[in-house]
Structure 1
Amino acid sequence: MSVIVQGPQLRSIALGTRVTKSTGTLAATTVPLFTIAGGEVLITSMYGLVTTSITVANSYKLQLNPTTGDTQDICAATDIGTTDTLAGDILQFGLATTTAPPKLMSVGYGTARLDTVLTTGQIEHVSAGTDGVITWCLTWIPMADGATVVAA
């Protein structure tokens, strides 16, 4: 008798628990995407699937707004709309430098792996544009007993 490990089981073993959240139609505002509670978590991967094309100039970034402490950028503000970001594109992270966080990049040029520890609070997106929709996919592992990540 053979044992077959299913795709979701492999993903869970390799990357942790998966959670997704759609931005809805982007607006010039800050909106919570994910809530981290109960302690620190290791974000193993995060990527955005563009489900409706982004066609107007849009300085866009992700940030952690912690329960205590200062808000910190997860990625640097990047214009994802002047050169259209089309439905079906995947947004990933470029390389960080010693003085700046990574910028968002289209598939093929970046990575979905983050391997970064975040504390309790909310992961938010900050958008300056007014069109397009992104579904953010995140995988995580608890670093503190009882820690969770849920869609906000």
Structure 2
Amino acid sequence: MTVILDPTQFHGVARELVAGILVDRATDTLPQTTAEALFTISTGRVLLMGIVGEVTTVIQTQANNAKLQANPTTGTTVDICAVLDITADEVGCLYGITGVFSDALVGANAGATVWPTRPVVLAPGTLDLSCSASNTGAVKWSLIYVPLDAGAEVTAA
């Protein structure tokens, strides 16, 4: 039997085999002095392999400490990174995490960010962006995960 792979689909298949399942969240404005769900984790636990945010509308120039939080359906919310002041971040600025909860959210000017050295286990619930101020600006997010429990999945919130 000969199997013919469609080259337009191979990239996605290869990524899922190597890194995990990609979920994109459309561009959205920042939460205003609160936390907002970026992604929903359902049915079971997942392994967060990586997450990247990209600024699509410049962030207002005023202090705004931002962080990512795991907000489980049962239990207590956990910061999965420390805060980063995102004031005046330019369009194209990329955000990422190291996977070490005590390390700050990483945000560099457009061009690059970090990928976790340690994957993060997330329980069912939401993955949230928390902002300490009410700033204008918008970010789009992409997440890659691997299901740990049968039927577990992540969707954009």
Checking the alignment, whether the CA contact within 8 Å between 2:23 and 2:154 is kept in structure 1 is: yes
* Corresponding position of 1:15: 19
Distance 1:91 1:25, change over 3 A: same
Percent identical residues:
34
Task: Give 1:47 deviation, angstroms.
Answer: 0.8
Q: Which residue of 2 aligns with 1:105?
A: 107
Structure 2 match to 1:33: 38
Matching of residues 127-142 of structure 1 within 5 Å: 127=131, 128-142=133-147
- Aligned match of 1:144: 149
- Equivalent of 1:120 in 121, 124, 127: 124
Deviation at 1:112, TM superposition (A): 5.0
2:76 matched to 1:70?
Answer: yes
C-alpha distance in 1 between matches for 2:141 and 2:117: 13
Kept after mapping to 1: 8 A contact 2:56/2:137: yes
Runs of at least 5 residues in structure 1 that lack an aligned partner in the other structure: none
In structure 2, list runs of 5 or more residues that go unmatched.
none
User: 1:3-42: per-residue Cα shift (whole Å, max 9, x none)?
Assistant: 5572212211111111122452222221111110111101
- Name the Cα RMSD after superposition: 2.3
In structure 1, C-alpha distance between the alignment counterparts of 2:71 and 2:99, rounded to whole Å: 22
Q: Is the 8 A contact 2:53 2:94 kept in 1?
A: yes
**Structure-2 separation of matches of 1:95 and 1:19:** 18
- Cα distance change, pair 31–135 in 1 and its aligned pair in 2 (3 A): same
8 Å Cα contact 1:39/1:119 also seen in 2: yes
- Which deviates more, 18-27 or 41-50? 18-27
SS at match of 2:18: helix
1:91 alignment partner AA: Y
**1:95 to partner: Cα distance:** 6.8
Q: 1:114 to 1:87 in 2, by over 3 A?
A: farther
Give the TM-score normalised by structure 1.
Answer: 0.85
Deviation at residue 59 of structure 1 after TM alignment:
0.8
- What secondary structure sits across from 2:141 in the alignment? strand
Q: TM-score, normalised by structure 2?
A: 0.82
